[in-house]
Structure 1
Amino acid sequence: MSVLSVALIAAVGALAGAAARPVVFARSVPAAASARSDCPHCGSGVLGRRLPVLPASGRCPACAQAIGPHAFTPEAAAAVAFAVIAAGGASGWFAAAQYWIAACGVALALIDVAVQRLPDVLTLPALCGTFLLLTAAQVAGEPGSLGRAAAAAAVLTAVFLLIAFTGAMGIGDVKLAPAIGALLGWSSWTALFWGAAAGFVVGAVLEVARMAVGRARRTHVSFGPYMVIGALAVSVTAA
């Protein structure tokens, strides 16, 4: 793919990140709360009912206090993810599934980092959208297997559920597992293994780095971002 094409797709990713910003703000709340629409500092309504948008500066329009994701964080993260996927060379409906996981994953990752939650309002669309796009890929005759994707989703979910029973993983990670498993399983069982393993490796490396600079959480690791990064990295190379 040409540099121009990658740049254009990165721009689309930035727009997807901008669309994710109000979702991240609204859903970065404790489990007891469903969502928010008002500034936590001044109480003014910052999410319009007809067009829920937030400034890319990450500040409340009324009081200028920082709210939601840091300035340009979701936009930049989605742009990079889309550019990497585009550079990987996948095409068709399978590539659309990769972009979908990236778009959902950016929002989920930022929420997980903020409040250590992966809300159902995003994990369920991530799953349904992935299977819908992979079904379209199967109908279009693209290389891969929908049956293997479904089996991989079940296997990874079962494994993560067992880990969750030990207390080493949150239930939100389990709910994200089927979408991740389906995307990886579409390519091969090998991709599933390495994609799942990559999440743990990336998580271990980055958490050690955070500990080295004194920023690691002692009680809980936000594993969602590592799941998404590992899965996309392996999926792109396996395409």
Structure 2
Amino acid sequence: MSAGLLTVSALLGALAGWAAVPLAHRFTVPASGRGVGGRPVERLGVSLAGAVVFGGLAAARGAAPELPALLLVGAVGLVLALVDLACLRLPDRLVALAAAAGGLGLAGAAPATGVGRLLPALAGAAAAFAGYVLLALLPGSRLGFGDVKLAAALGLPLGWLGWPALALGLLLPHLLNGVVVLALLAARKVRRDTALPFGPAILAGAWLAVLFA
């Protein structure tokens, strides 16, 4: 991986993070009556997160044909995470955009890697959807069907990368969420019955799976 690719990717991520705040604001105000904070320091924080997300993807995949697809999904993921944190929802339009970005990006990468790579990608999306549906239907489950649809959208690029990446991407969100919940309970920030967003954990788990699978 070249330093130039890493630098350009990080800069693109910073721009995506800066743009994610006003985009997320449009989806949160109608739903909750309050929007995502747009103060400069907050936008800088999201820009930094975007730079880390994009830079990590570029470092992990280099100039692989699927990198543009992963960056596109990452850009939409930043908006989804902000919306879910603000009002506990994952808008269908944004989830569909993430799925379309991943699908079209991978279709564009297929000629360079072989069209057959699309089959495990589709299988990954189907497996992620089925697995999260089962979890959502369990008694006492707090998973929403927005989480199910997001997992399916992310299962597409994870399936493209292989079954180890998919398995890691499906497992890590629950581990990450568990750590966050325990920390918040210990700090007395939430109670056991407090509703918390799961979308950011799904997105972070998928990102880490790409980095380490």
TM-score where L is the length of structure 2: 0.87
RMSD: 2.4
Q: Which residue of 2 aligns with 1:66?
A: none
Q: Could you say which residue in structure 2 is the equivalent of 1:73?
A: 45
Indicate if the aligned counterparts of 1:199 and 1:226 stay in contact, CA closer than 8 A.
yes
Q: Does 1:88 align with 2:71?
A: no
CA drift of 1:177 comes to: 1.5
TM-score between both structures, scaled by the size of structure 1: 0.79
**Corresponding residue for residue 40 of structure 2:** 57
Q: Deviations for 1:93-149, whole angstroms, at most 9, x for unmatched residues?
A: 311121122111111111111110000121001001101111112122269821011
- Picking from 137, 141, 144, the partner of 1:165 is 137
Structure holding more helix per residue:
2
Matched, 1:178 2:152: yes
Does 1:210 pair with 2:193?
no
What is the DSSP-based 3-state SS (H/G/I as helix, E as strand, rest coil) of the residue aligned with 1:140?
Answer: helix
Task: Say which SS state the counterpart of residue 72 (structure 1) adopts.
Answer: helix
Q: How does 1:1-239 map to 2 (within 5 A)?
A: 1-29=1-29, 31=31, 57=40, 70-141=42-113, 145-166=117-138, 167-216=141-190, 218-238=193-213
Deviation at 1:75, TM superposition (A): 1.3
Aligned residues: 209
Paired amino acid for 2:40: S
C-alpha contact (below 8 Å) 2:22/2:38 kept by paired residues: no
Counterpart CA distance in 2 for 1:142 and 1:83 is: 26
Task: Give the number of the structure whose alpha-carbon radius of gyration is greater.
Answer: 1
Give the fraction of aligned pairs with identical amino acids, expressed as a percent.
Answer: 35
Consecutive aligned runs of 4 or more in structure 1 exceeding 6 Å deviation:
none
Name structure 1 gaps, 5 residues minimum.
42-53, 59-69
SS at match of 1:145: helix
Distance of 1:120 and 1:207 partners within structure 2: 26
Q: Specify the SS of the correspondent of 2:66.
A: helix
Matches of 1:141 and 1:128, distance apart in 2: 19
Q: Which amino acid aligns with 1:234?
A: A
Q: Counterpart amino acid of 1:158?
A: A
Task: Note if contact 1:9-1:82 (Cα within 8 Å) is conserved in structure 2.
Answer: yes
Distance of 1:210 and 1:2 partners within structure 2? 40
1:53-109: per-residue Cα shift (whole Å, max 9, x none)? x96527xxxxxxxxxxx3423212111101111221332431112112211111111
